[in-house]
Amino acid sequence: MSSETIGRPVDILLVEDNPGDIRLTQEALKEGKVLNNLHIARDGVEAMAFLRRQDKYADAVRPDLILLDLNLPKKDGREVLAEIKTDEGLKRIPVVILTTSEADEDILKTYDCHANCYITKPMDLNQLINVVKSIEDFWLSLVKLPPE
């Protein structure tokens, strides 16, 4: 669902605590071909507050896509994913796991919790930008995302 298809920018929630990865994701999406609004949550508690429109996020938009790191402070990404996918109002939002973990246990657990895909972050900066662009090409240009 490109921004042209829905007539507005695509809203993406990036749940990431690493400032460098946040910056690179912002740059890659800025250079991309899909108009988007990137919202950032720096820990799992903040992510759930955003998604549930609590406290300072009372006016938050429902994201069209969530990019979720697993290793987060306060509430890790595994817990966030489980909460999203068991919440009737949130479970249809596609969740892309974007993490440094290559552990089979993490891969299995996130798919058991209905992650839509699992991508291991490359350590090379240019490769990370390419990964983000690939996510954009697939999830925001090819895939038909569910309506709110």
Tell me the per-residue pLDDT of 33-74, one tens digit each, with 9 for 90 and over. Answer: 678 889 999 999 999 999 999 999 999 999 999 999 999 999
The string of pLDDT tens digits covering residues 6-27 is: 457 889 999 999 998 898 888 8
Q: Which residue has the higher pLDDT, 34 or 91?
A: 91
Tell the CATH topology of 3-142: Rossmann fold (3.40.50)
Domain boundaries, the chain: 3-142
- What DSSP letter does each residue of 18-66 carry, written as one string? -HHHHHHHHHHHHHSSS-EEEEEESSHHHHHHHHTT-GGGTTPPPPSEE
pLDDT single digits (tens) 112-134: 999 999 988 887 777 877 888 88
